Amino acid sequence: MSQVGKFNNLEVVNEVPFGFYLDAGDKGQILLPTKNAPLGCKLGDMVNAFIYHDSDDRLIATIRRPKVFVDHCAYLKVVSITKVGVFLDWGLEKDLLVPFSEQDYPMSEGVSYVVYVFCDEETGRLAASTKLKDFLYEESCDEGGTFEEKQEVELLICGQTDMGYKAIIDGSHLGLIFRDEVFQPIKIGHSMKGFIKRIREDGKIDLCFQFHDPTARNTLEEQIIEDLIAHDGLSTLTDKSSADEISRRFKVSKNVYKKAIGSLFRQKRILLDKTKITLVKK
């Protein structure tokens, strides 16, 4: 059975002056225009083609690869706004519609958004939505799968809140990265690797970009001591410094840095005040 919004391996069953017709089973024969067909295409060939609806709402095929498939998320730019919704550039001739009813907030031309692509049950056409909560799971124990703490995952940054950044986890779940876990510049639309930090009692998922075991923390402590020695025993990089400053110097989150200097203070290797760290001379 062929599927709209995905690549399908289909047989060429008819050739016409403007292209080829592919046997799409229950969906009948679908046109593959000459400009979207592989070179040397002929009757009897099997073609791996993507199926979607053209501007006249007819099913059409192409070997061009879109920026996103059905049931997946992507960061796409708005190219036009019409009376039925906004249209996104997804790499094909016909732009992808986000109906007004699927917009979580007003969308602007020229701006990119993270959207989920779905197949409308009534029309069979592809569309996109910014209402990610309607399509993605928010709890680890949902039927979409279960995660474990410290598990490495793929993240797509999809939003920002007062607490931090929202991210799509492995294309199926939503999670939160708290601000004190951010130690590198990130923006909405960025794809990156991360980790499951914890599963809360309500099933919600907290994320982070790195884990630090005791060995790693000890290494960071020695880096801090070496940095102090290199700067005559003084540093203005305290636990009050910004996460960006800490990240630039030591490539760790502010939370991890605070734990390391706290450990050094308890070991009486440094002195702390609001404006500086001082190395204790032996």
Domain parsing of the chain, residue ranges: 7-62, 73-134, 152-208, 214-279
Domain topology for 214-279? Arc Repressor Mutant, subunit A (1.10.10)
Q: Which residues of 10-29 are buried (b: 16+ CB within 10 A; e: fewer)?
A: bebeeeeeebbbbebeebeb
pLDDT mean by block of 10 residues, the chain; 282 residues: 93 95 94 94 95 92 97 98 96 96 96 96 92 92 71 94 93 91 85 91 88 64 88 89 83 83 90 90 75
CATH architecture, range 73-134: Beta Barrel (2.40)
pLDDT score of 170: 94
Half-sphere exposure of 250 (CA within 13 A, CB side): 29
Q: 7-62 and 73-134 share one CATH topology?
A: yes
pLDDT score of 59: 95
**HEC assignment per residue over 43-75:** CCCEEEEEEEECCCCCEEEECCCCCCCCCCEEE
pLDDT score of 179: 84
C-alpha to C-alpha distance for 175 and 140, rounded to whole angstroms: 9
In the chain, DSSP assigns E strands to: 7-16, 19-23, 29-33, 46-53, 59-62, 73-81, 85-89, 96-99, 112-119, 126-129, 152-160, 164-169, 173-178, 191-199, 205-208, 234-235, 270-272, 277-279
Half-sphere exposure of 227 (CA within 13 A, CB side): 17
In order of 132, 192, 219, 265, the CA distances from 187 in angstroms are: 17, 11, 29, 35
Domain topology for 7-62? OB fold (Dihydrolipoamide Acetyltransferase, E2P) (2.40.50)
**Superfamily assignment of 152-208 in CATH?**
Nucleic acid-binding proteins (2.40.50.140)
Tell me which residue of 29, 81, 30 sits closest to 53, measured CA to CA.
30
